Amino acid sequence: MDTLVSVDWLADHLNDPDLVVLDCSVHVEQTESGMRTLSGREDYDGGHIPGAGFADLKGDLCDSESPIGFAVPTPEAFCAAMSKLGVGDESRVVLYDSSSSVWAARVWWMLRWVGFDRAAILDGGLNAWKAAGHSLSTEPATYPARTLTPNPRPQLIADRDEVLAAIDDADVSIIDTLPAGSYRGEMKMYARPGHILSAVNVCGMDMLDETGRHKPMADLDAMHTGDRDARAITYCGGGILASLNAFVMTRLGFKDVAVYTASLQEWAADPDNPMTSEPS
């Protein structure tokens, strides 16, 4: 199984006994004070790919005690939550969401972080499934619980101290995956406008076409011109969109990619962390 699968592939393999399909959707709504994220459980209950379980990034798949939204739990807690969803060491997993695959990419990255490499993202997500004429279900998943053993790869997640050190390290690339307007400081999405000093901008949404599917590999390759063997750290606001870039970069053959999961939620809130609106 490739790390990116099509709707046709999933339709053909939906009933494979080792396959676990998980809806990773997060509900996003606009409020007077900005964007608010809620569990996508209600959307899942309203209609999902038949047989799919629900992976709750606002629930069991985050550290709810952290002040940082979508903070990663411990590897053990994450594996325990995935085990309850029916993911075991020998499972294959297909992840999707109802928007732009960014939430699915975050779960894919966390699975990779705990040492699990048998996961894929559904290209185009739920919208592509519906566009192909496939039916939805309101029945909950019935996967039996299995055991997912944590074998963590801590290098796949970067923290504030590593990012700070990387600013002056020519051997490490820092990649801002937010829209160009945010990178240039033209809009304030977090506590301070702009981007982390020395970061370059490769917007995660530019990885996708107008239907939400991934662009051709040649186009994606042209967007990521860095050294495939060098260390690269992606970030955004909460490590979600950054996970999509990390997924794409891994598919392109980058060997040492990390996601700064706390991202600007943490970085911009501390005035001691350097930021700029000037291009790097």
Domains of the chain (ranges plus CATH)? 4-152 (3.40.250.10), 155-276 (3.40.250.10)
Predicted local confidence at residue 29, as pLDDT: 80
Single pTM value for the model: 0.96
Burial class from Cβ neighbours inside 10 Å (0-12, 13-18, 19+) for residue 248 reads: buried
Nearest to 98 by CA among 147, 152, 47, 36: 47
Q: How many CB atoms are located within 10 Å of the residue 29 CB?
A: 8
pLDDT tens string, the chain, 280 residues long: the values are 999 999 999 999 999 999 999 999 999 886 666 678 889 999 999 999 999 999 999 999 999 999 999 999 999 999 999 999 999 999 999 999 998 899 999 999 999 999 999 999 999 999 999 999 999 999 988 899 999 999 999 999 999 999 999 999 999 999 999 999 999 999 888 999 999 999 999 999 999 999 999 999 999 999 998 999 999 999 999 999 999 999 999 999 999 999 999 999 999 999 999 999 998 8
Whether the CB-CB separation of 231 and 209 falls below 8 Å is answered with no
Beta strands in the chain (DSSP E): 4-5, 19-23, 26-31, 34-39, 53-54, 92-96, 119-122, 157-158, 172-176, 195-196, 200-201, 231-235, 256-260, 275-276
